[in-house]
Structure formats: C-alpha cells, structure tokens
C-alpha cells in the first residue's frame, strides 16, 4: 500500500502561522518517505481563513518537486472544464509529470450559493462531471477539438503543450453512480471516509462496472481518503468523528496499524490521510513509523 497526506488549507484550532509550521512538518516527512501531497477544493469553512486549493497545490508542487500532487477532489462546477484542462496540462508540464487529476461532481451547497454557482440536483451534477471529463480528455490529446454537450462545450479548441504523460484521472465519490463514472473514465477511484466494509462493497461494484465498460476488472485503482487521530497516549485519541455518518481511523500505533490492514484487506492500494490532531505534530511522527509495516 502507498500513502499520501492532506496539506491543510485551514488552521483549525490553531493560527495561520501554526498551520504553516504544521504543514511544513508534514511536507518534510512526506518528502522523506515519498508520500503524495493532496489538496482539498473548498472555498470556505465558517469564519476561518481558507486557502484556495489549486493555488495551494501549485505553490507546494514547486517547493517539493519530487512528490506527486493531487486534488482530493476538484469540484467540477468551480472551473470551466476547458480552462481546467489547460491548467492541468500546464502543471503536468511544469512538474515533470507529478499531477494526479482528482475530480468529483461537487456537493457543498453553501459554497455553491455563496459564490453564485448554480446547485442542481445530484443527477445533473453527475452528468456535468461526465461532460467535464469529455472536454478535459479531448483537450489533452493536443488536437483541435469540439465537444458540444448539454452543459459544457468547446469549439475548435486546443491545449498545448499536451500533457505527457496524461495525468491519472481520479474520480472521488462513494455513490454507485459515481463509481460507474469512475469505471468508464478513471484510472483511480477514491472513497471518502468509508468503512472497510463499505469500501469492499464499492470495489466489487467498481470491478463489475469496469468489465461492463469493456475494461479489465482491475483497470481502476481503488484508493481511500481517511481522517486519522493517532497518539501513543490512548486518552489523547479523538475516537468520535467530527460529524455523523462518516468513519475515521483512530487509536494508538498498534490500533491504527490494524485498522489500516483492514482497508488493505478490503482492496485499498493507496490511502490519503487527513491528520485530525493537526497542528499537533505527534501524529505525523508516529504515522511515519506505522506505515513502515506496509
């Protein structure tokens, strides 16, 4: 199993300076271990400062050029897909092929409304995601293309330099319809805060839908994004998720090691970690030791 770490865009219980310092410790640890760097694509969280995801990712990629970077995941609604194809192609060129292109249908209604985006029903957002992917993948060929969709279109458009190699596409989302889109379009699929049991069920659906789409059963790499609370002191562990309906990994190093193995047994080949004890550095240091067993 491989690992990546989320670089926080928000100070949480600390200050902005503490956020910068804690992120730097995560980045240095990631650099020692070759972990990927992952950036969320949201616009606001209450009254706290919040760094814009693509800008944060590009800046960090330049500072840590040996590491893969990815979005977890881009909201397809927030950027014109033709422009986004150009942005991704440029970053892929400048980073020497380090981009993993994570994208999803979008879900955070308060952001949509606050920033004057239409917020259609989920079925429409999923159709928009497919059309966005049609535009992006067409432009990545380096040829002039026209895509005339119901929601997105480009006309005689070209995006050069064409990305080489093409960035892996990672589609994020736990719903069966999203899994189906991943089976048709993606190289990676990402489950968000799911239990190992749910992940195992979704991987089975992913494999079946990949075959239905004319691809190999294992064509799409299963990945999982998880919150983590980790401490050598059991009393310091945050064992209750911050909101209902989500799952997190929590415990001492031995407990966390066992929980990660459950995901590995369920089919996870890559896991992105969001350190819930942030900006406390203990969890990052302990996690470095835990994952040496994988």
Any idea where the domains of the chain sit in the sequence?
Answer: 2-293
CATH of domain 2-293: 3.20.20.30
Tally of CB atoms within 10 A around 16: 12
Question: Do 288 and 5 meet the contact criterion of CB atoms below 8 Å apart?
Answer: no
DSSP character string of the chain: -EEEEE--SS-TTS-HHHHHHHHHHHHHHHHHHT-EEEE---S-BTTB----HHHHHHHHHHHSTTS-EEES-EEGGGS-HHHHHHHHHHHHHHTTS-EEEEEE----HHHHHHTT-----HHHHHHHHHHHHHHHHHHTTSS-EEEE-SS-EEEEE--SSPPSSPPPEEEE--SHHHHHHHHHH-SEEEEES--HHHHHHHHHHHHHHHHHTTS-TT-SEEEEEEEEEE-SSGGG---S-SSTT--EEEESHHHHHHHHHHHHHHT-SEEEEEETTTT-SHHHHHHHHHGGG-
pTM: 0.96
- pLDDT of the chain, 294 residues: tens digit per residue: 999 999 999 999 889 999 999 999 999 999 999 999 999 999 999 999 999 999 999 999 999 999 999 999 999 999 999 999 999 999 999 999 999 999 999 999 999 999 999 999 999 999 999 999 999 999 999 999 999 999 999 999 999 999 999 999 999 999 999 999 999 999 999 999 999 999 999 999 999 999 999 999 999 999 999 999 999 999 999 998 888 889 999 999 999 999 999 999 999 999 999 999 999 889 999 999 999 989
Instruction: Take residue 105 and report the two structure tokens written for it.
Output: 């249908």
- How far is the CA of 284 from the CAs of 12, 55, 173, in angstroms? 16, 24, 26
Of 120, 137, 140, 146, which Cα lies nearest the Cα of 181? 137
Rg, Å, the chain Cα set: 19
**pLDDT confidence of residue 243:** 84
């Amino acid at each position: 199993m491989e690992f990546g770490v989320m670089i926080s865009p928000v100070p949480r219980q600390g200050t902005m300076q503490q956020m910068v310092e804690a992120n730097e410790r995560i980045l240095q640890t990631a650099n020692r271990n070759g972990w990927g760097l992952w950036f969320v694509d949201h616009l606001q969280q209450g009254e706290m400062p919040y760094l814009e995801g693509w800008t944060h990712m590009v800046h960090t990629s330049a500072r840590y050029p040996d590491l893969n970077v990815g979005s977890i995941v881009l909201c397809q609604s927030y950027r014109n897909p033709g422009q986004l194809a150009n942005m991704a192609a440029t970053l892929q060129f400048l980073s020497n092929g380090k981009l993993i292109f994570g994208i999803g249908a979008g879900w955070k209604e308060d952001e949509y409304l606050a920033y004057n985006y239409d917020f259609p029903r989920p079925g429409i957002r999923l159709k928009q995601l497919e059309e966005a992917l049609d535009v992006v993948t067409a432009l990545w060929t380096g040829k002039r293309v026209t895509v005339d969709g119901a929601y997105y279109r480009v006309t005689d458009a070209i995006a050069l330099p064409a990305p080489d190699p093409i960035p892996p596409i990672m589609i994020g989302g736990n719903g069966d319809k999203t899994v189906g889109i991943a089976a048709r379009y993606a190289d990676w699929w990402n489950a968000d805060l799911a239990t190992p049991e749910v992940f195992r069920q979704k991987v089975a659906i992913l494999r079946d839908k990949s075959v239905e789409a004319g691809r190999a059963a294992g064509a799409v790499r299963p990945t999982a994004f998880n919150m983590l609370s980790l401490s050598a002191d059991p009393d310091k562990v945050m064992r209750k998720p911050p909101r209902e309906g989500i799952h997190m990994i929590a415990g001492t190093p031995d407990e966390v090691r066992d929980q990660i193995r459950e995901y590995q047994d369920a089919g996870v080949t890559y896991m992105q970690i969001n350190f819930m004890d942030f900006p406390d550095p203990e969890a990052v240091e302990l996690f470095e030791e835990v994952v040496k067993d994988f």
